[in-house]
């Protein structure tokens, strides 16, 4: 069986300015064999990706949502808890870009 599917996000907290990049990572605490991943987000039935990491470049307003990953190994399937991602608006050009 698969256990302990978890998500991490960069930037921490899942909040970013319009146009920034977002990286989500999916990890499995317990599970063997070849693992297959699929990324999902609220409001879409189509998977966003099939790797352990998902990068969204130049995020747009409509990408504020809940994201989660589904992991499969043979007959076992497990999902992470959903993670809220919020696109806050445009970055202030006067603020330094610390990325």
Buried b / exposed e over 17-46, threshold 16 CB at 10 Å, is eeebebebebebeebeeebebbbbbeeeee
The string of pLDDT tens digits covering residues 37-65 is: 999 998 777 788 999 999 988 888 888 88
Supply the pTM of this predicted model.
0.80
What was the pLDDT predicted at 54?
94
Overall residue count recorded for the chain in this entry: 99
What was the pLDDT predicted at 78?
95
Measuring CA to CA, which residue among 81, 88, 90, 87 is closest to residue 63? 87
Lowest mean pLDDT among 12-16, 18-22, 41-45, 57-61: 41-45
- Which two three-digit tokens encode residue 7? 């998500």
92 confidence band (pLDDT: 50, 70, 90): low
d(CA 25, CA 8): 5
Phi/psi of residue 63, each to 5°? -95, 5
**Are the C-beta atoms of 10 and 20 separated by less than 8 Å?**
no
What was the pLDDT predicted at 46?
79
Domains and CATH numbers, the chain: 3-88 (2.60.40.10)
| 96 pLDDT above the threshold of 70 | no
């Amino acid at each position: 069986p698969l256990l302990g599917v978890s998500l991490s996000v960069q930037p921490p907290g899942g909040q970013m300015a319009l146009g920034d990049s977002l990286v989500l990572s999916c990890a499995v605490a317990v599970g063997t064999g070849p693992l297959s991943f699929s990324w999902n987000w609220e409001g879409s039935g189509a998977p966003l990706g099939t790797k352990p990491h998902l990068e969204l470049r130049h995020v747009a307003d409509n990408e504020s949502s809940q994201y989660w990953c589904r992991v499969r190994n043979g007959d076992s399937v497990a999902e992470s808890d959903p993670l809220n991602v919020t696109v806050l608006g445009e970055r202030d050009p006067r603020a330094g870009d610390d990325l």
